[in-house]
Amino acid sequence: MTSKQAFDIPSCPGRRFAGCSAIVTGAARGIGRAIALRIGAEGGAVAVVAGSDRAGAEAVAAEIEAGGSRASVHTVDVTDRVQIERLFDEVAAAFGGIDVLINNAGLGRPARLLDLDETAWDDVFRVNAKGVFLASVAVARHMAAQGRGGAIVNIAGASAHRCYPGAGAYGPSKAAVVSLTRQMALEWADLGIRVNGVSPGPIRSIDGWEAREPALAEEVLRLPLKRAGTPEEVAAAVCHLASKEATYTTGQMLVVDGGGVETWYLSLGG
Ligand SMILES: NC(=O)c1ccc[n+]([C@@H]2O[C@H](COP(=O)([O-])OP(=O)(O)OC[C@H]3O[C@@H](n4cnc5c(N)ncnc54)[C@H](OP(=O)(O)O)[C@@H]3O)[C@@H](O)[C@H]2O)c1
């Protein structure tokens, strides 16, 4: 398949995913929820994948279906290859293939490195790095067999591009996601599969979060854009990269962080 043929699905303004099917992991809440809703609102059939929050995933799927698109609900551990492969087989059979995968599920275990225990390190890398690897390989095999290409978007984080004291294994695991994104883009371009990533900065959706997280509230005021971002702002970047609008973009990270990565003065010490 040439890159010109890849993911050659007609686009309509505001309906960029009409005729497509997508899998979104970690979709029961937060950023994953916003991505799933946006793809559904733009005509895509969405497999809403939760780790454990089935009720949250069912609510997201109901909202997508109320808007007129198809949705299915799944509960899967992204670190389990057998569960992932079974899920993708089910979704491909139900939706007639898989065009888009959004690897959004993630885990943080904040700690300074000298206090970080080995189990926390392994847990974080298992979800953030191995989970992305397993799901991406599983979907790439489907996309290759389908012969119509596809798009993968990995959610990394600003921590992949700059260091935060006390981030523990989180930043290193997200840096692995950046490298994996480039590696997959290189190896799978000939299959018509584009692989990109989005690195969010501080994203908050619940009103009044500043009172519960005063250190972060102080930090965001030092960002060039002086506020936290919203899940919908991350979803907009993800959907651009996943859609036909971005057919000449692969192996790239889009940092959605209020300009934080461009600054040097955010470090909170220690
Ligand atoms: N929010 C931010 O400020 C921010 C900033 C930078 C990057 N990010 C990244 O953006 C993504 C979404 O973050 P968020 O804050 O919206 O969500 P979040 O509250 O961190 O939730 C992450 C999701 O991942 C799922 N998950 C965790 N372990 C899993 C596993 N083993 N198998 C399947 N699913 C699993 C959870 O599912 P269940 O709840 O169903 O178990 C949950 O819905 C993550 O990758 C995160 O690292 C977030």
What's 232's domain CATH number?
3.40.50.720
Report if residue 12 sits inside a domain: no
Report the chain's C-alpha Rg in angstroms. Answer: 18
**Residue 255: CB partners within 8 Å, gap ≥ 6?**
158, 161, 198, 199, 201, 261
Residue 67 in any domain: the answer is yes
Within-domain flag for 16: no
pLDDT exceeds cutoff 70 at 3: no
Classify residue 264 by burial, with Cβ atoms within 10 Å: 0-12, 13-18, 19+: exposed
Q: Is residue 109 part of a domain?
A: yes
Sheet order of strands, 193-200 included: 71-75, 45-50, 21-25, 100-103, 150-155, 193-200, 253-256
Residue 13 lies in a domain: no
> What residues make up the domain containing 154?
21-260
127: DSSP letter? I
Ligand 1 atom nearest the C-alpha of 203 is 3
Please tell me the total count of domains within the chain.
1
Predicted local distance difference test score (pLDDT) of residue 80: 98
Q: What is the pLDDT of residue 12?
A: 60
Determine, yes or no, domain membership for 246: yes
Residue 73 in any domain: the answer is: yes
170 is catalytic: yes
- Ligand 1 pocket (Cβ < 6 Å) reads 25-26, 28-32, 50-53, 76-79, 104-107, 127, 155, 157, 200, 202-203
Q: What is the mean pLDDT of the segment spanning 2-22?
A: 69
- How much of the chain, in percent, has pLDDT values that exceed 90? 89
31, 197 contact by CB (below 8 A): no
85 within a domain of the structure (yes/no): yes
pTM assigned to the model? 0.95
